[in-house]
Chains A and B, each alone.
Chain A
Amino acid sequence: MSSWTIDRRAFLKVSASVGGSILLSSCMDTRASTAGAQSSLFEPNAYIRLAPDGMVTIVAKNPEIGQGVKTMLPMLIADELDVEWKNVKVEQAIADAKRFSRQFAGGSLATPFNYDELRRVGAAGRQMLIAAAAETWGVSADECTTSAGVVKHAASNRTAPYGTLVAKASTMRVPDLAKVKLKSPSEFRIIGTPVRGVDTPAIVAGKPLFGIDVKVPGMLYAVFVKCPVFAGKVASSNAEEVAKLPGVRHAFVVDGGTALNKLLGGVAIVADTWWAARKAREKLTVTWNEGATAQQSSAGFAAKAAELARGPAARTIVKAGDPDAAFASATKVVEAQYFYPFLSHATLEPQNCTASFANGKLEIWAPTQNPEPGRALCAETLGIKPTDITITMTRSGGGFGRRLNNDYMVEAAWISKTIGAPVKLLWTREDDMQHDFYRPAGFHNFKAAVDAAGKVTAWRNHFVSFGEGEKFAPSSSLDDDDFPAGFIPNLLVEASVMPLGVPTGPLRAPGSNALAFVMHGFIDELASAAGRDQVQFRLDLLGEPRMVMDKENKPMYDAARMRGVLQLVAEKSGWGRQVPKGTGLGVAFHYSHRGYFAEVVEVAAANGRFKINKVWVVGDIGAQVINPMNAEHQAQGSVLDGIGEALGQEITIEGGRTVQSNFDNYPLLRLVQAPPVEVHFKVTDNPVTGLGEPALPPVVPALCNAIFAATGVRIRSLPLSKQGWTYA
């Protein structure tokens, strides 16, 4: 988990199947063939189109899911190109791995992957415009400067607006991206300023931006009914009768396979309107071959986890020092068991996709976070070439990791191919909640020793999770570099797994969104047992401000940065101040997705009811906050997302199927429940990193620790609603 090379965990989780070609070379190879003296536009690369009137179109390469990349990435280009933001139009890229590499929304990676690269793209364009002006004027390019879309030559007092240089610039040599000169941060004019979302005006006008809004000529509407037990198959159905219902054009069985993230079996109903398909579904009867997963349940998982916890762990994840000896000589030993449930992504826009298959070619319009694996899946399933598939990435009504899987895409593609017409597949809310890739549940069995000085001397965690053999189910792992590895001298982290037929996958801040809760809940217990102040105890645990190295002696965790955000959040929240009886402050920190975050929650609680008075957030995402307007908002949204998860969200499994079905039994946070969230960024001399995720994890333990501070009641299991807590 180096903080300045690639975050290994995040990279593996989101991009293993994403094309890894190099942006810098590939984007410059795509200089438009029309570029040249004949062209009316200057197109130095795949991202920039400059028109004679000075207007610049900048292509936003990554899918927008609400994280703000459609605004942020073009800001990077525009600043280095040195144009005014008001003269920029942003255009969403289609999925095209040849022109744009790494087009996905995941791992909070858009910033670290693109911060330098896209600035270079902009700087290259600027360099060509300068070269064009210099050649026209017969002066050295080194003597020319730019400002707000104008090239200047101070010595001769000449200026040339970019738009006047379009033809000439198009004949200039494309510079080597690795060698273009970038601005120093003091020269930024767009980066670091508050910029509003480029789609905000269209959103407030109700314009069709989302996948669900796609309409193509001749399009029909579909629902797809899958077995409620994951990967079950159709044994028999009355699809032929359903096909005769009013408005229905087709109803047919799809065999599907058994891979949870590919095409599963079910019945497709295609109609003139979505409502007709949805209504016809009520007349559908299916006998399912449910398969072995029908034997699985949340109660069964809990019983099995308890059994596994009593026995020896199946394997060791990381061991340091001599934990046995340390426990034997300990002053105080604390033990606790923690649990967190399965969670659903519950994107407000249900999964949907519009597909049009004709003449061996497939067109896709999809709200997807990860188009290239979707292309591969469709190609494999339909038996066509990936190059015969076009994918338009629509805006997504939320992502949170759900749309990294493209199961809905291949369903739409299959249905369109089967019926030979364009089709919009839309899942119902119930389909969406019951066919998710859930945040996996997990069970942690902790034991730790504290010495007489109140220092943690030993730590053991037997983590009971899901998977088979050495392999964890997706997003259910615990790694050898997870905190507190590297910070406690005698440490033993072990794991046992049980089989799982329920699909799991990344949910915003995968891994961390659960691990932070258990780690910082238990650390809070240790500080209490030691009778220490919670913040000071954590500072001592972090130790000297230093880079903690992993076993290969690579940078793993910057204790200095974490100490920095922890100290600042203590200051901002007035940590240690007197609070009324029944009010408590809780603190937690967590490093994830290259960001260092510490948060404090203030809670007022009594008699099983509680209210969050306020949350303080301090984050360190490096040397630059690119768009302060969105950065604050992402941090607030992440924190409120975490609070919503903790309050009442839980997916349970019975008979191999998901019990919850809609927002009446899977409650999202509501407006009245949203406390004020004060956000600060601690700017440090470190690489600039992403913000879609790392603010979420600490709030969950900080909230639970605050409830303890207010009431003396420990929260070791979520959600709070199941522990008898009501949000006042």
Chain B
Amino acid sequence: MPFTLKVNGASRTVDADPEMPLLWVLRDLLDLPGTKYGCGIGQCGACTVQLRGNPIRSCQVPVSAVGNGEITTIEGLSVDGASHPLQKAWVELDVPQCGYCQAGQLMSAAALLKRTPKPTDAQIDSAMNGNLCRCATYLRIRSAIHRAAELGSGVAASSGKEG
């Protein structure tokens, strides 16, 4: 059945099984493959996107439950895919190894910085502990979040259209 979603600032209509998780709607119906499948049970965080600014596990949310809430995916984190302070910090510190989890890491981190522009290590631990990185790039993830906080004072300086 048809659903109209607000994704990265645009209105998108899809014909989908109501039970289809948002993850698969984004990846396979809306051609937004930046959001990744890792576990399908909300354990790894690879599928993290923001719904109304909150980080959610898109593998756990059926499309029928999304409503008209604004969805932001990694593709919408900044207008140019590069200018969010987190994206700058991630590049500066060369955070990724394989890179597969990083979209989810960035979306969780972006939600953290929006709430807490200068997070402590403990706040980073709490916000990021649901995002697994199999390559264990955690030390640079932590450093890069601190660096992004310095670079942009969080989302205030972002040119992105993050909702």
Contacts and interface: CB of A to CB of B under 8 A. Distances in A.
Contacts of A350: 37-38
Contacts of A273: 20, 24, 28-29
29 contacts: A66-B97, A197-B94, A200-B99, A204-B87, A204-B90, A205-B75, A208-B33, A213-B33, A215-B33, A247-B17, A274-B28, A275-B17, A347-B134, A348-B98, A350-B37, A395-B98, A395-B99, A629-B94, A630-B94, A633-B140, A634-B97, A637-B137, A668-B44, A670-B129, A670-B132, A671-B131, A671-B133, A671-B138, A672-B129
B123 to A, nearest CB: 12
Interface residues of A, number: 63
Which of B41, B96, B103 is most buried by chain A, counting CB atoms within 10 A of its CB? B96
A671 B43 contact: no
Contacts of B157: none
Interface in A203-257: 203-210, 212-213, 215, 221, 246-247
A349 B100 contact: yes
Given A629-B94, A663-B44, A671-B133, 18 more contacts: A66-B96, A66-B135, A196-B91, A196-B94, A204-B81, A215-B33, A246-B17, A273-B24, A347-B134, A348-B134, A349-B38, A429-B39, A633-B94, A633-B97, A637-B135, A663-B38, A663-B39, A664-B43
B100 A210 contact: yes
Contact of B20 (A209, A275, A640, A676): A275
B94 A65 contact: no
A26 interface: no
A68 B135 CA distance: 12
A677 interface: yes
A246 B29 CA distance: 16
Interface string A424-447: 001011000000000000000000
A662 interface: yes
B125 A66 contact: no
Nearest to B41: A662
Interface of A: 64-68, 196-197, 199-201, 203-210, 212-213, 215, 221, 246-247, 273-276, 279, 346-350, 395-400, 426, 428-429, 629-630, 633-634, 636-637, 640-641, 644, 662-664, 668-672, 674, 676-677
B141 A671 contact: yes
Contact of B44 (A215, A348, A633): A348
B99 A203 contact: yes
Contacts of A208: 33-34
Contact of B102 (A68, A204, A400, A636): A204
B161 to A, nearest CB: 14
Contacts of A669: 136, 138
Interface string B70-107: 00011101000110001100110011111111110010
A668 B133 CA distance: 8
B28 A349 contact: no
Closest 10 CB pairs of A and B: A206-B34, A66-B98, A397-B100, A205-B81, A206-B74, A640-B136, A203-B99, A66-B97, A674-B138, A663-B43
B108 to A, nearest CB: 10
A663 B20 CA distance: 22
A200 B96 contact: yes
A399 B141 CA distance: 20
A644 B136 CA distance: 9
A274 B40 contact: no
B99 A199 contact: yes
B34 A207 contact: yes
B82 A221 contact: no
Nearest to B28: A273
Contacts of B142: 671, 674
